[in-house]
Amino acid sequence: MDTRVVTSHLPADLAEKLDGLAERLDRPRGWLVKEAIASYVALEEERHRLTLEALADVKAGRTHDHAEIEAWAASLGALKRKARR
């Protein structure tokens, strides 16, 4: 696997937390940074995919108006009240 060195300046308190976490987990700081960045990138890629999917739904007319959503949300509360009785 090809790798590249990427540097970043962290606030001192965040760097100290990273050091503490690395020590507790018995992992190198670099491993933790790689894991954190991989998780963040995956999250943002999923967010982007979902945004594109939502925009495609809007373009295709697959939408609900505000009143429909309000009625649906209100019905959720009604279902909870019925379940308690």
The H-assigned helical ranges of 1-85 are 12-25, 29-59, 66-84
Query: What's the pLDDT score for residue 69?
Result: 96
Q: Which single residue is written with the structure tokens 């890629």?
A: 45
CA-based radius of gyration for the chain: 23
Show pLDDT as tens, one digit a residue, over the chain (85 residues): 999 999 999 999 999 999 999 999 999 999 999 999 999 999 999 999 999 999 999 999 999 999 999 999 999 987 666 666 5
